[in-house]
Amino acid sequence: MGVTVMDKKLSWNSLIEGVTLSELRQIGDDRGTVLHMLRSDAPEFTRFGECYFSEVLPGAIKAWKRHRAQTQNLAVPMGRIRMVIYDDREGSATRGQVQALELGRPDAYLRLRIPPGVWYGFTCVSPAPALLVNCADLPHEPGETEARPSEDAGIPYRWEGTAPMTQGKPERLIRLSKSCLGPAEKRAVLAVLDGEFLGMGGEVRQFEQALTEFFGRPAVCVVNGTAALHLAVQACGMGPGDEVLVPSLTYVASFQAISATGAKPVACDIDPETCFLDWRDAERRVTARTKAVMPVHYTGGLGDLEGFSALARRHGLRVIEDAAHALGGTYGGKRVGSFGDVACFSFDGIKNVTSGEGGCVVTDDASVLRKIQDARLLGVEKDTEKRYTGRRSWEFDVTAQGWRYHMSSVMAAIGLEQLKRLPEMAATRQRLARCYDERLRTHPRIRPLPRDYNTVVPHIYVVRIQGAWDRETLRTQLLEKGIQTGIHYQPNHVLSLYRDAAALPLPATETVFPDLLTLPLHPDVTEQDVEFICTQLQALLHD
């Protein structure tokens, strides 16, 4: 794929001719990014922060002039920079020509020359904002390595040649997780700011309607995924004296959401192969006080939902799914969240879809929905409809504990645009996870978690590393090579607050946890990144 101009697909490192300037108004790359076009002799050229990058940091990339007004020079950092150039200069042999370039090498800066009067736009596919070196730090004395126009191409703005990276520094940081936003999200936020109503307004209603259409049943939005779990547990009637079955291997948010209602989280063991909650172990922990089970869709997979449903029927339990990792996935041909009792999703900054912060609860239970709608607005009854229209209740009643958990219109505006991009971003996550599997599955010590990436849209990519190793030493070594890693998650029953959550041992959890390592996964990771990560990981384990 490449860019789209005049409804034509233009592959990277290729060109088309006969394009007018008006046809450049909507140039997009295959990630849906509209490139911000600048003219090389325009005053905006030196205000490079006005160009759109997938991650903009002032001063991260600077422009400078060496030949006065005759030629513009840029230093492009290592990583992949996608660039579109449009030449409509009078007398130019290539007038009306659009060229799409993919530039950058993992060990170099590229110095680019742009003739005056040429239009150009950038996207930064693999930025390294913390490690960029300003242009002033690059060599520019006679004899330096410098890009030269490619004569044989007949195009005066195709560049070659490199300047070496600073020694001793990683080439760039491949982040573990990150937000992946574009100009559509920025425009949506600006529209809300221009409307000067930032609280829970019409955008929240629109986002809820879009989610309801997506899931095929009602959704209610809240401020974050933890709030979604908390309100779901509360709306399902749990409180002091009640117990909820939940895997110990989950983020502390799952436990906090339960204990916030006064109920007790009961730590359960996992299946050591999949790291999903083991429903058989959970059943051994059922008591007369047990009111619900909370399966956690770890990494985006779902485990044995039929087993949990059967467990719930046998003991009269609610099933509240912690689906924070699983948006976009399917189970038995149906979307995660489109079936079952209650499902809770997260839209925080690094999830499969982000709204900055945010979450939602999806259920067919009208009573649960109504209770959550009121509880998110401090328990003010029937205030939701007024908030959707920019109003609020001045005379009201409160009959149950509520919280300030509503979603803002700014958050919903981001979420609406992100939801449109979910098919594309989900496919990228699945493709990258398959690349990891293919590269790592034959290593004698590395065990990828078994997932079907035809149905699972992974939020994170976790492996088990067996044999003698020191996790923190390995993580430090990988970071020195520019690879950020994580640990998902420290078991909750070892935390001071929840040490009494496990009445029975958790042997699988305690065996598996020391083996876990999370590798970078998000839509801005490339297949080349995956190859580099796997090569470095395997080399370090071999050493």
Q: Which residues contact 344 (CB under 8 A, 6 or more apart)?
A: 225, 228, 229, 232, 320, 321, 322, 323, 324, 359, 360, 361, 362
> Does the active-site annotation cover 351?
yes
8 A C-beta contact, residue 74 and residue 111: yes
8 A C-beta contact, residue 207 and residue 164: no
Question: CA 394 to CA 135: how far, in whole Å?
Answer: 58
Q: Which two tokens stand for residue 500?
A: 């009494």
Cis peptide before 489 (omega within 30 of 0): yes
Q: Which residues pair with 331 in a beta bridge?
A: 334
Question: What amino acid is encoded at 508 in this protein?
Answer: A
If you count them, how many residues does the chain have? 543
Question: CA 457 to CA 451: how far, in whole Å?
Answer: 10
Question: CA 383 to CA 402: how far, in whole Å?
Answer: 12
Q: Which CA distances in Å does 281 have to 197, 330, 412, 480, 511?
A: 49, 25, 39, 41, 15
8 A C-beta contact, residue 220 and residue 337: no
Nearest one of 270, 302, 273 to 447, comparing CA atoms: 273
Question: CA 495 to CA 493: how far, in whole Å?
Answer: 5
Question: CA 86 to CA 97: how far, in whole Å?
Answer: 6
8 A C-beta contact, residue 53 and residue 65: no
Sheet holding 446-448, edge to edge: 446-448, 461-465, 516-519
Q: Which residues contact 242 (CB under 8 A, 6 or more apart)?
A: 261, 262, 263, 264, 289, 290, 291, 292
Q: Are strands 243-247 and 264-268 parallel, antiparallel or unpaired?
A: parallel
Question: CA 233 to CA 318: how far, in whole Å?
Answer: 9
Side-chain-facing half-sphere of 203: CA atoms under 13 Å: 27
DSSP characters over 148-202: --BGGGTBTT-----EEPPTTS-S--B-SS-----HHHHHHHHHHHHHT--SS-H
- Of 8, 351, 386, 481, the catalytic one is 351
Q: Which residues contact 428 (CB under 8 A, 6 or more apart)?
A: 523
Q: Which two tokens stand for residue 276?
A: 């999903």
Residue with tokens 């098919």: 423
The catalytic site residues sit at 351
